Amino acid sequence: MDRPLRFWPRPLALTCLVAATCLVAQPAWAADRKQAHKLMQRGAAAYERQDYADALTNFRAAYEFIPSPKILYDIAQCHLKLGHDLEAAEALETFLASGGSDEHHDSAKAALEGLETRLARLRLSVVPPNAVLVLDEKPIHAGQIFVAAGTHSISASLPGYQGQARSISLEKGDSKELAMVLDREGATPQRSDPEAAAPPQKQAPARLSITTEPAGATVTSGSLILGVAPLTTQLAPGSYPLHASLSGYRDASEVVELAQGRSSEVALRLEPVEHTRVFTWLALGLAGVGGGVGLGFGVSAHSAYSDLQSGPHAQPQVQELYNRASGQATAANVCFGAAAVLAAAGVVLFFVEPSL
């Protein structure tokens, strides 16, 4: 029974090591990035085989995870291949407004200029600003939009107000403005001329320019998506709560008052989210705990082994001391192995986590 005790990990140790690595949980946003990368690969493969509809589906899904300008450019290319001029123009304009990438900026600009010769621009404003706008039976939001050349029907409605419907004709390359003012139910209509295409001067739309630091933030006002900053739009006079959001930054908000016929500028600054290395310190902390527990088991195993070597013992006592020393040595090896894995993960995370 004088067999030396060897401190080597057994199959149970390997199982514990695998389980220990699972303690370093992957951040949700890292999982989103991984999923977006998979979808982008699928979209690129579909685009290569000229299955543009499937490529568009994958690129759109990837954009839901990571709203990157690069993905938006790919979405625009799919729309162009499929002949979706309106959708392509909107995607390209948003891409260019977000700053885009130098690699694709010129080609995106040229493509948009080509589309502008085949489409028309319509700038819409409505009072009250939360009225529901419908263009050719399709809900839209106030602001500037692309439309196909031709005659279009536009309606505005809101509970408690008299609905209003208009018709407007646009040629290729046209750019027109249309403002709609709803009267409360039972009130005397503000306009008696049904042919009037614009509201009274007192309801002239206001011009709003929005910039964000950094650029590329998505700006909304309630349920109304204004676009990606920097942007310029026209809205009906009134009060608008602005909200800017961008991945990796804290949201910024501000309320702006727009006066009729006046121009306003708003600059929103988004503060970067501080990286506290939560998972780094968690991994290193668990490594310290594992090392401490392993040290405790190791000391106990050494004590049992010393007792075993100290002198003659009865056979039952020898077996008991041997089993105790062996079990605690195995436990020490498991703890030391887990601590080593967690410590290595902590070192890697220390350098990687802030950039994720």
**Chain segment 281-310, per-residue pLDDT in tens:** 787 888 888 888 888 888 887 777 777 677
216 or 53: which leads in pLDDT: 53
pLDDT digits (tens, 9 = 90+) for 84-104: 998 988 888 888 887 666 688
**In the predicted model, is pLDDT for residue 325 greater than 80?**
no
Per domain, the residue ranges of the chain are: 20-116, 118-201, 204-269, 275-355
Order of strands, sheet of 143-148, starting from the edge strand that comes earlier in the sequence: 143-148, 119-127, 175-181
pLDDT for the residue 101: 64
Domain boundaries 20-116, corresponding CATH code: 1.25.40.10
pLDDT digits (tens, 9 = 90+) for 127-182: 888 888 888 888 888 888 888 889 999 988 888 888 888 888 989 988 888 888 88
In sequence order, what DSSP letters do the residues of 203-260 get, joined into one string?
GPPEEEEEEEESTT-EEEETTEEEEESSEEEEE-SEEEEEEEE-TTB--EEEEEEE-T
- pTM (two decimals): 0.49
Q: Any idea what DSSP says for residue 249?
A: B
Cβ neighbours of residue 198 closer than 8 Å, sequence gap 6 or more: 177, 178, 179
82-121: b (≥16 Cβ within 10 Å) or e = eebbebbbbbbbbbbbbebeeebeeebeebbeebbeebbb
Of 71-85, 299-313, 317-331, the one with minimum mean pLDDT is 299-313
Average pLDDT, the chain: 78
pLDDT for the residue 83: 92
| Radius of gyration of the CA atoms of the chain, in A | 33
Cα separation, 44 vs 77, in Å, equals 11
Q: By three-state DSSP, how is residue 349 classified?
A: helix
Of 19-28, 212-221, 238-247, 253-262, the one with minimum mean pLDDT is 19-28
CATH superfamily, domain 204-269, is: Carboxypeptidase-like, regulatory domain (2.60.40.1120)
Residue type, 295: L
Alpha helices in the chain, H assignment, sequence order = 11-21, 28-48, 52-65, 69-82, 85-97, 102-116, 278-309, 315-352
Cis peptide before 67 (omega within 30 of 0): no
Q: Residue 9 burial by CB count (10 A; 0-12/13-18/19+): exposed, middle or buried? A: middle
The residue assigned the tokens 């700006």 is: 219
How big is the CA angle at 133 (ends 129 and 139), to the nearest 5 degrees? 130
Domain boundaries 118-201, corresponding CATH code: 2.60.40.1120
pLDDT for the residue 54: 93
Cα separation, 169 vs 287, in Å, equals 71
Residues in the chain: 356
**In the predicted model, is pLDDT for residue 187 greater than 70?**
no
Say whether 204-269 and 118-201 share the same fold. Answer: yes
Of the candidates 246, 214, 211, which has an alpha carbon nearest to the alpha carbon of residue 68?
246
> In the chain, what percentage of residues exceed pLDDT 70?
80
Cα separation, 227 vs 356, in Å, equals 26
How big is the CA angle at 325 (ends 319 and 330), to the nearest 5 degrees? 125
Helix or strand run (H / E) with residue 245? strand 238-245
| Tokens (6 digits) for 96 | 């260019």
52-70: b (≥16 Cβ within 10 Å) or e = bebbbbbbbbbbebbbbbb
